[in-house]
A and B are shown apart, each in its own frame.
Chain A
Amino acid sequence: MKRITVLAGAVATIGLHGCAGTTASLDEPVQVAEVRAPLSVSESTYFVEMPFKDNKVYFFGQPKPKEVAKAGGSILYPGDTAAMFFASILAHSMISSSVQGAEEKARIEEANAILEPYQSSLDKVSAAYLHEYAVAQSARSHDAEIAMYSEGMEYEGFRTTMEPVFIMSRSTDSLAIRAEVKIFSSDEAPDDPVYERTVHLHSEPHAETPTDGSHWLGDGSGTRLLSTVYSLSRDALVYAIRDYQGEFDTEGTRESTIRYRMNGAKIVERGKFINDETCGFIVFESLRDELKRVQSLDGCLQQAAPSVETAPQQEEAL
């Protein structure tokens, strides 16, 4: 009872603080204040450890995938003599690997170029804040007990590490997180994770994707972009915890063809369907054993105007 009262008080305080607004601009560098002790800690608390050495978070553009070719090519090597035959194979192999290497480099550079309009906003994102946001939000939503881990601390429950990268879709309609999450239990060997998985979550796509990036940047402060980054980071942690707790069990589920939306187009992937979530999100297990949350083909689209409710205020976490 006492715990519920404390939590309710904390939620009310955070909520009122959030409603009061802030004069701090998101253009200013993120100031990370000392984190308060978690409101309550139990044996089911997940202590989040920050594995980043440089406090840096990485962002990439989504590379263009290979496209279905409408005809296959075949190669005939000149084979007047055995030596000429093998020499022509070797020459072809060297040339094609060199060309493919250059193409791959160009593909990645072209993909990352899409981040340019957002760079100043993305530079504000710190790994420390991602975790602090997750801890602060857990007090509000109660979907997982998350607390900060300090190096060397003794804990009862679970220690969680997460290494995320963020990927902007080619059309810039949505952002995705791809996070390697590990969970360690205080009851088990400290260095052997009891859970280890890649969690890959897509954000809701925007209905409009103007080329100037205004759908993410709004008035220039990048509020929506940053709020999406923080929400995805927290969601990845919560999904991993839910998965560890057995909520996304796929035992006995047959593989099927999953169709979803990305860049405004249909994407096809094979996997084990887990469930439909609110607003048309589909959760499934990919063939590479990733836990994925994607937008269904008929899912709802975010409107271009930023949503105040979904934008996390940095002060809330502090």
Chain B
Amino acid sequence: MNSLARIRALVAVGIVCLLTGCVAPPQEPIALDSRGLLVENARVGLKFQIGDEASLQMPGADCLLCLAAAAAANGALSDHAKTLDLADLASLESELINTLQSQGVNAVLIDDETEISKLPKFKGAEENSAERDYREFASKNEIDQLLVVNIGHAGILRPYSGYIATAAPSAVVRGAAFLVDSATNTYSWYLPISNFLEADGEWKEAPDYPGLTNAYYQVVEQARDDILGPMSDLQASARPRPVIDETATDETEAQ
């Protein structure tokens, strides 16, 4: 390889590194450590965020004209998506409070309109540091542990590439549920929610779309199970994580 080619290759690698470095890696799931919830007299606040209605999203239809064409082509589907019920997701709010209280946790619902996406970003050195700084929010609401359920999108998703639909629509629930220790601003639990399901069989069944509608309530149920499941048995997830005793390992190996 001559020097010019070598330089070109290095520049290309540099650009790739630079571009990928700009994209923040998604938060990895963190299994629930419920010890913070079970501390005596700890006050646990639930911040529950969900949109007003279900909707159709068409990612990939990026240009204005593409979006207009996609909206025109999916008018009936968009109208139907708005009729999908959010009640099974919204009821999670009271179900979570009841589930926690039934296990002796002092759980309260946070009645604060602040959107968590508007909280300042946080760059902590500790492992599992939260993306946002929740400390002030928690302090304002007198919370020791902050439980957040944030449903970003519930409804139907149809991927596009410009003007062209690239796949059949899927029912979708996206968001995240997490638990933040307000003292350290670290996650004690992080559950990314990204559930997709296509209709079983034909999906083009306007105006009621029974296949897609069933798929929607199935992804909703999956999200409910994913969120409520870990919270329903806090004792099971309160065990201290196994710590590797390097000395013991060394001794074993020496033997």
Contacts and interface: CB of A to CB of B under 8 A. Distances in A.
B36 interface: no
A67 B88 CA distance: 20
B161 A75 contact: yes
B196 A69 contact: yes
Given A287-B210, A287-B213, A268 B221 contact: yes
B164 A89 contact: yes
A68 B195 contact: yes
B157 A72 contact: yes
Contacts of A259: 221
A268 B218 contact: yes
Interface residues of B, number: 30
B210 A71 contact: no
Interface string A38-76: 000000000000000000000000000111111111111
B78 interface: no
A303 to B, nearest CB: 29
B54 to A, nearest CB: 13
Contact of B88 (A76, A257, A269): A257
Interface residues of A, number: 27
A36 interface: no
Contact of A75 (B166, B213, B215): B166
Given A69-B197, A72-B196, A75-B166, A269 B219 contact: no
B222 interface: yes
Q: Is the interface of A mostly helix, strand, loop or mixed?
A: loop
Interface string B196-238: 1110100000001010011101111110000000000000000
Contacts of A75: 159, 161, 166-167
A69 B164 CA distance: 23
A79 B63 CA distance: 15
B172 interface: yes
B172 A72 contact: yes
A71 B217 contact: no
Contacts of A89: 161, 164, 166
Given A75-B166, A76-B161, A70 B194 contact: yes
Contacts of A73: 159, 167
Interface string A269-288: 11000000000000000111
Contact of A69 (B59, B195, B200, B214): B195
B7 to A, nearest CB: 25
A70 B208 contact: no
Given A68-B196, A68-B222, A257-B217, A74 B172 contact: no
Given A75-B161, A75-B167, A76-B161, A70 B195 contact: yes
A65 B200 contact: yes
Contact of A257 (B172, B197, B221): B221
A290 B51 CA distance: 32
Residue of B195, B198, B208, B210 ringed by the most chain A CB atoms within 10 A: B210
A270 B213 contact: yes
A103 to B, nearest CB: 13
B194 A72 contact: yes
A71 B54 CA distance: 19
Contact of A74 (B60, B88, B194): B60
Contacts of B214: 268-270, 287
A270 B217 contact: yes
A257 to B, nearest CB: 5
B170 interface: yes
A176 to B, nearest CB: 15
A89 B197 CA distance: 23
B221 A72 contact: no
Given A68-B219, A268-B217, A287-B208, 9 more contacts: A68-B195, A69-B197, A70-B195, A72-B159, A72-B194, A75-B161, A255-B85, A257-B88, A268-B218
24 contacts: A66-B200, A66-B215, A68-B195, A68-B197, A68-B218, A68-B219, A70-B194, A71-B194, A72-B170, A72-B196, A73-B167, A74-B60, A75-B167, A77-B161, A85-B162, A92-B166, A257-B217, A266-B221, A268-B217, A268-B221, A270-B213, A286-B210, A287-B214, A288-B210
Interface of B: 59-60, 85, 88, 157, 159, 161-162, 164, 166-167, 170, 172, 194-198, 200, 208, 210, 213-215, 217-222
